[in-house]
C-alpha cells in the first residue's frame, strides 16, 4: 500500500477519534449521539483493520488467511466488507 493511502487512513482514524471524544459527553442522554458514536466506532475499526492489513507482508497475509479459514467465529468486521 502506498504511503499516501496509509497516511489518509491515519488521518481518518484521528478524525474519528476527535468526533467520538466530542460525542462522549452527550452519550448518556441522547439516542442520536449513541447511534452516531457507534457508526464512528465501526468506521474507525474498518480503517484500523485496513491499516493493519497494509502493514502485513505477503507471508503474514498467507498465515492470517490460513488462520481465519480454520476459525469458524464471525467477527464484526466480517459483516462490513468493502
Q: Model confidence over 13-71: pLDDT tens digits?
A: 999 999 999 888 888 888 998 999 999 999 999 999 888 877 777 777 777 777 766 65
Nearest CA among 68, 6, 31, 27 for reference residue 77: 68
Whether this prediction's pTM lies above 0.75 is answered by no
Angle among Cα 52, 53, 55 to the nearest 5 degrees reads 65
Amino acid at each position: 500500500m502506498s504511503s499516501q493511502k496509509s497516511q489518509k487512513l491515519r488521518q481518518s482514524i484521528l478524525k474519528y477519534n476527535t468526533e467520538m471524544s466530542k460525542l462522549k459527553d452527550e452519550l448518556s442522554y441522547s439516542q442520536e449521539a449513541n447511534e452516531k458514536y457507534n457508526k464512528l466506532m465501526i468506521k474507525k475499526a474498518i480503517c484500523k483493520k485496513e491499516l493493519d492489513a497494509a502493514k502485513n507482508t505477503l507471508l503474514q497475509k498467507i498465515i492470517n488467511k490460513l488462520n481465519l479459514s480454520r476459525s469458524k467465529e464471525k467477527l464484526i468486521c466480517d459483516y462490513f466488507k468493502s
